[in-house]
Structure 1
Amino acid sequence: MENPIREVAPVVVVMVPLPAQGHLNQLLHFSRHISAHGIPVHFVSSATHNTQAKIRVQGWDPITISNIHFHDLPLPPYAVPAPDPKAPTKFPDHLQPIFEAALHLRQPFAALLQSLSSTAHRVAVVHDTLMSFAAQESTTLPNAESYIFHCTSAFTNLFMIIAFLKKFSGLNVSVSQTSYLPSLSIEGCFSDRFLEFVGSQAGMTDIDVGEIYNTCRAVEAEFLELPTQPPFLGNRKMRSLAVGPLHPINLHGQDGSPSRRRHECLEWLDKQPAQSVLYISFGSNSFLTEEEILGLAMGLKHSDQRFVWVLREADRGDIFAEEKSEKKGENYQLPENYEEGLEGVGMVVRDWAPQLEILAHKSIGGFLSHCGWNSCIESMSMGVPIATWPMHSDQPWNAMLITEVLKIGVPVMDWARRGETPSSTIVEAAVRRLMESEEGKDMRRKAEELGRAIREAWLEGGSSREDLDFFIAHISR
C-alpha cells in the first residue's frame, strides 16, 4: 500500500513596511509581483496605513488581487502634529510619533506570524529596514526566515553606512574599489530623535537571509556589489537582489484593471507639446517655507516654461486626520493672483496627484524633485531628467547619484548650501538649464537611454526579472 501524500501548505510572504508613504508604496508594489507567482502575501500595518497604501497606489488596484491579504493590526494612540516649516532641519520630525508607535506592532505581528507558521511550509518575512523587530520574531519559528528591504537606493545605502560608521564609531571607512566616493555626511539629513530611533533598530538585521532593493543593475550594479566585499562583508546567505523598478512601467490597461477617473492635470497635459512641461513635486514628507514657495513660484514664472506644480503640505502620521484639519494648507500660499495668470502656461495641483501617469506623459520634459527614492526611480524609468532639490534623509545622496554619477540632472541648490533659500534667479537658471539648454537636451537623451535599460530589466532575461525569479525560487525551495 502506498503512503498517502502529505499536503503541505505553500510558502507565504509577510510584508512589514514602515508606516510612511514612500515605504508603504514600495512594499505594496513588491507584493503585486510576488502575488503574480501564485504566492499569498500578507501585508501588515495599521488600518489607517493599509487604507493609505491602497488608495494611493498607482497603475493597479489591490482589490482585484485575491492573494494579497491586508492585516489591520492595532496601534496605541499617537500624536499627529503638523509639519513645522521653521524646524532646524527639513527632516519630517512630525512623523516620529507614528514611527515609534509602529514598534508596538511587534506583539500582534508575532501572533500573526505564529498563526501563518502553523499552516505554511515556509514563511518569508520581508521587512523594512526600520521595522527590524520582524527579523527577530522570525527567528522564534523553525520555518520562518527574514529578508531586509531597503527603501533607499543601493548608492545611498552604501555611503550612508559609511557616514554612520564615521559619525558614531569613529571609523574612517573608505571604499577604494569604487570610481566614485561622495563626501556627504549625515549632518542635516535627520533629526536627533530619529537617529536614536535608527539606533534602536541597529543590530537586529544580521539574522536576515538576504537584502532586497527597489533598483536595477542598469542603474546601480557597482553599488550593489560593493557591500558584499570588505569591509562590509556581513552574514547574508545570498546575494543582494535588485528587483526594481517595482512600480508598473506600462500604465495602459495594467493587469486589466479599470482605470480610475483621470486627473484633471492629465487633461491639461494632453494639450501641451511633447517634452515641454516641467513637473514639480516634493513628495509626501517634505515641506517648504513661505520664502521657498515664493522663490520657486517666481522662478518658474520667469523661466517661461510650462509646468505642473503639486503644492501640498507634507503628510502627517494619519493622513485622514490631516484631511479634517482646519489649518490644512495655511503655510502654502502663493503670491496674489499668481494662479490666475497661469492659464495655458502652468497648473498648480493642491491634492494628491498621479505622479506615475504624469511622468509617463509625453508632454513631460523634466522633473523638479526633492529626490526621494520613489520619485527618482519612477522618473528614471520613464526617461525623465531631474532638477534636484534635496531636503532630508536619503535625498542628498540620491541627488548626487542623479547629477554626478548618472549625469541625468542638474542641481537647483547644492546640499552644502542647504541653509540658504534658493532665490527666484537660482530657480529660473536651473529650470532653463534643464528644459531648454543643449546640456539639458543631452541629459534628456541620457535619461531616455537609461529609461529604456531600466524597462528592459523587466523583460524576459532582464536582470530584475532574474533577481525576482531567484527570490521566488529561494523562498519556494
Structure 2
Amino acid sequence: MSTMAPTEHALAAATTATPPPHFVTVPLAAQGHIIPLVGLARLLAERGARASVVTTPLNVARLRGVAEQAARAGLPLEFVGLPFQPPDAGLPLDCQNFDMLDDNSQFNPFFDALRELAGPFDAYVRALAPRPSCIISDWCNPWTAGVASGLGIPRLFFYGPSCFFSLCDLKATEHGLHERIAAGDDREQYVVPGVPVPVKVTKATAPGFLTHPGCEMFRYESIEAMRTADGVVVNTFLDLEAQFVACYETALGKPVWTVGPLSLVNRDLEATASLGKTVAVNQQAITAWLDEQAPDSVMYVSFGSIARKFSKQLFEVGHGLKDSGNPFLWVVKESEATSPEVQQWLHALEECTAGRGLVVRGWAPQLTVLSHRAVGGFVTHCGWNSLLEAIAHGVPVVTWPHFEDQFLNERLAVDVLGVGVPIGVTAPVFILDDEPVPVVRGDILRAVSALMGGGEEADERRRKAKEYGEKARRAMEKGGSSYENLTRLIESFVQSGVKEH
C-alpha cells in the first residue's frame, strides 16, 4: 500500500494560516473497538490532521508501542488517559477493558462505570485551545454526545460492524422488527425490510447491539446519540459493500464515510502487535513455523479477544483440526488453558500433530498470520475486525458466529460475498457462557475440509477472496475510494471545526 509521508498530507493545499483540524477519537474500552479507531487516528495523523485517542489509563499503557512509533515518525498523534476508577460493583480490580471481565453479569455494571468518563472527558475537551474540530466516538459511547453538543463541537459516530449489519439493525429498529421478534416464536423466520438483498433472521440471530435484558437503556441512549450525530465513519470499503453503504446513508440521512480496511494502515506489524494485550508472544517463532508450511495450506483458528471457550468445546475444536489432516495454527486464550486437564490435553495434541499443528497460548499477531503466504483459511467468530482483516488479505473463512453482529456478518461473508463456509451454528453464545458444545468435531472437519479442499466451489471462494483482497488494497491507495473519502472527511473540518456542506 502506498501512503503519503506526513509532510505530503491531504491538506497541503490549505493555507499555512489555517491550522490542521483536530479529531478527538473515543473508542469503547474493548480491544475490538479500540483497534480500528486507533488505526483511524493514525491515518488521520499521517494525512496531516491532529488526532487524539481518548480512553482509560490502562488502555493507553497497552498502546505504548503505537504511541512510540508515532512519535518516532513525527506524527501529530497523542494518547490521552482519562481519570477512571470503576465503582465497587462486583467488577475485577482496576477493570478498564471488557476483556478483564470474569462473568457476563459484569457487563452492565461496566457499561455503567464507563458513563463516569463523561466528566473527565468534558474537562479534557474544555481545556483544549482551540477546541477540537470534531469528536469521533464509538456508537457504544453515547455519553460523548452531551459533551459535544454542550460545547458546540461536531460529532461523528464510529460503528464497528459492517454496513450490511448496520443497515439491517437500523431497518429492524425503524420497522419495529425487534418488538415483533421478541413477541414471536423462537423458530419463526423474519424478513428484515428495506435491505437490497433478502435477509431472514430468527429470534436468536436478529440484528442489534445491546439487545440483551438489562441493556435497554444503553441501547436507547446509543440510538439517540446516533440520531443527533453529524455523520458516521465506517471501517469498510465501497467495492465490498457499495449497495449497503448507499442504502445506509439514505436511511440515516447523514454522511457515511467508508475509510477501511483500517487494518491496512498498520504496516509495522510489531506496532500492531502492541495493540493486543501485553502478552509476550514470540512472533519470530510463529513466522518461522509458518515459513516451513506450504503456500495456502494452513488453517488459522482464533475467536477474538472476548469470547471464551470451555474445556469440552476446546476438545471438540482440537479433535476436528487433528482429524482434518490440515496444518493449523490455533490461538487458545490463557484463560481457556488454566486447568491441568486442558494443559495436558493441549500438550498431547501438539505431540500427535507435531510439524503440522501449532497451538499459541495467549495472543497471536493476527495480521502477521493472515498476511503470510502459508495461510489459506481462517476459522473466525465473525467479528467485523477479524472478518475484514481476512478479506483484506485475501483469506477465505470458516464462519462460527457467537453473538451480536456476527450472525449477519456471516451471512455477508457466505451468501453475499461468497468467501465463507458456515460451521452451522444457529444460536448465540454470549461471550462468557459455558456453552453446551454447539459445534462438534465433525462440524469442524466438514467445514475445514470444504474450505481447504479442491473442487469448483472451493476454488471460486479462494478466487473471490483474493479479488476482494486486491480491491481492499486499491481502496486504501491514493485515488482509491477509502483514501479519497478520508480526504473529504478531513477537508470537511478544516475551517474552524465547521463542516462544509
* Fold conserved between structures, TM > 0.5: yes
Partner of 2:76: 67
- What is the distance in 2 between the residues matched to 1:191 and 1:380? 30
| 2:134 aligns with one of 124, 134, 149 | 124
Alignment pair present for 1:454 and 2:472: yes
Alignment pair present for 1:104 and 2:110: no
Partner of 1:324: none
- The alignment of Structure 1 onto Structure 2 pairs a total of residues equal to 444
TM (normalized to structure 1)?
Answer: 0.84
| 1:12 aligns with one of 22, 25, 33 | 22
Unaligned runs of 5+ in 2: 1-14, 94-101, 182-189, 275-280, 430-435, 496-501
Partner of 2:99: none
Q: In 2 relative to 1, CA 175–330 (structure 1 residues): closer, same or farther, beyond 3 Å?
A: farther
Deviations along 1:226-278, one digit per CA (max 9) or x if unpaired, are 1233xx344x3xx21100011136746899x99x9734211100110000000
Q: In 2 relative to 1, CA 195–435 (structure 1 residues): closer, same or farther, beyond 3 Å?
A: farther
SS of alignment partner, residue 154 of structure 2: strand
Deviates more, 1:194-203 or 1:29-38: 194-203
Alignment pair present for 1:437 and 2:454: yes
Q: How does 1:145-294 map to 2 (within 5 A)?
A: 145-165=154-174, 166-168=176-178, 170=180, 174-176=192-194, 178-185=196-203, 191-229=212-250, 232-234=251-253, 236=254, 239-248=255-264, 251=267, 262-294=283-315
Q: In 2 relative to 1, CA 262–295 (structure 1 residues): closer, same or farther, beyond 3 Å?
A: closer
Equivalent residues of 1:19, 1:99 under 8 A apart: no
SS of alignment partner, residue 361 of structure 1: coil
- What is the distance in 1 between the residues matched to 2:48 and 2:224? 33
Partner of 1:354: 365
SS of alignment partner, residue 368 of structure 1: strand
- What is the distance in 1 between the residues matched to 2:370 and 2:400? 17
Q: In 2 relative to 1, CA 92–364 (structure 1 residues): closer, same or farther, beyond 3 Å?
A: farther
Shift in Å at residue 287 of structure 1? 1.1
Partner of 2:316: 295
Q: In 2 relative to 1, CA 460–167 (structure 1 residues): closer, same or farther, beyond 3 Å?
A: same
Shift in Å at residue 174 of structure 1? 4.8
Deviates more, 1:38-47 or 1:63-72: 63-72
Q: In 2 relative to 1, CA 61–191 (structure 1 residues): closer, same or farther, beyond 3 Å?
A: farther
Query: For residue 178 of structure 1, what is the amino acid of its counterpart?
Result: P
Alignment pair present for 1:380 and 2:391: yes
SS of alignment partner, residue 393 of structure 1: coil
Q: In 2 relative to 1, CA 253–45 (structure 1 residues): closer, same or farther, beyond 3 Å?
A: closer
TM (normalized to structure 2)?
Answer: 0.80
SS of alignment partner, residue 37 of structure 2: helix
Q: In 2 relative to 1, CA 193–331 (structure 1 residues): closer, same or farther, beyond 3 Å?
A: farther
- What is the distance in 1 between the residues matched to 2:353 and 2:123? 55
Equivalent residues of 1:456, 1:462 under 8 A apart: yes
- What is the distance in 2 between the residues matched to 1:217 and 1:314? 38
SS of alignment partner, residue 227 of structure 2: coil
Q: In 2 relative to 1, CA 250–285 (structure 1 residues): closer, same or farther, beyond 3 Å?
A: closer
Deviates more, 1:23-32 or 1:457-466: 457-466
Deviations along 1:404-447, one digit per CA (max 9) or x if unpaired, are 11010101123259766222111101110001132222211110
Deviations along 1:315-362, one digit per CA (max 9) or x if unpaired, are 9xxxxxxxxxxx956795563622222210100000211000100000
Equivalent residues of 1:10, 1:39 under 8 A apart: yes
SS of alignment partner, residue 492 of structure 2: helix
Partner of 2:6: none
Q: In 2 relative to 1, CA 423–128 (structure 1 residues): closer, same or farther, beyond 3 Å?
A: same
Query: For residue 199 of structure 2, what is the amino acid of its counterpart?
Result: L
Deviates more, 1:363-372 or 1:327-336: 327-336
Equivalent residues of 1:312, 1:329 under 8 A apart: no
Query: For residue 25 of structure 2, what is the amino acid of its counterpart?
Result: M
- What is the distance in 2 between the residues matched to 1:212 and 1:92? 29
Equivalent residues of 1:106, 1:134 under 8 A apart: yes
